[in-house]
Amino acid sequence: TDVGAGVAGPLSGKASVALRHRRIEAESGEITNAKNTGKAIGSTNHGTTIKFANLNLADTTKVKVNASAGGGAKGSQIEVRLDSPTGPLVATVDIAHTGDWGKFMENKAQLTPTPGRHDVYLVLTNPKKGGGLMNVDWVEFGQ
């Protein structure tokens, strides 16, 4: 707090910290090129992105994604990138083909720890299959 001057009264400031759970619902992210069903992200295509703003991954060494891949979407992956859909790649998660759009599985990968806060992008990829890649329920960043 300062003491103010003349007609300007004193000013005060304070800092706050918002704690986030390590597990984040996919539908809470900023989604491009897909459909938010309220329970998961569906109707995904090669290049669909899910953005989570201002995450700190400093002590994070693993990423886990709960997803389902039915139909012919074998070989799909999720790239975890920093600050843009084409930014530094910190993890690649291979998505298991479940054979049923309603059957979700946890898919895991190692993640390169990165200091500071970043916008984190999940980029859904499968160059051999343009659409119908997967449904994404949640992502978890942990150790």
Q: CATH number of the domain at 48, please.
A: 2.60.120.260
pLDDT score at 47: 96
Residue 124 lies in a domain: yes
Total domains, the chain: 1
pTM summary value: 0.86
5 is a domain residue: no
In the prediction, which pLDDT does 6 show? 76
Residue 12 has a pLDDT of 78
Confidence at residue 87, expressed as pLDDT on a 0 to 100 scale? 99
Structural domain includes residue 57: yes
Q: Please report, for residues 6, 7, 15, the alpha-carbon distance to residue 11 in angstroms, rounded to integers and kept in the order given.
A: 13, 12, 14
In a domain, 111, yes or no: yes
Residue 64 is assigned to a structural domain of this protein: yes
Residue 13 confidence (pLDDT): 76
Q: What is the pLDDT of residue 43?
A: 92
Per-residue DSSP letter, 128: T
Q: Do the domain assignments include residue 6?
A: no
Distances in whole angstroms, Cα of residue 47 to Cα of each of 31, 68, 78, 112, 115? 11, 17, 10, 22, 26
Is residue 43 a part of any domain in this protein? yes
**Residue 4 maps to a domain:** no
In angstroms, the CA 61 to CA 113 distance is 6
**Letter for the amino acid at 47?**
G
Per-residue pLDDT of the chain (143 residues; tens, 9 = 90+): 777 777 888 877 776 555 567 899 999 999 999 998 889 999 999 999 999 999 999 999 999 999 999 886 789 999 999 999 999 999 999 999 999 999 999 999 999 999 999 999 999 999 888 889 999 999 999 99
Domain span holding position 69? 23-142
Would you state the structure tokens that stand for residue 51, as one six-digit string?
Answer: 């953005």
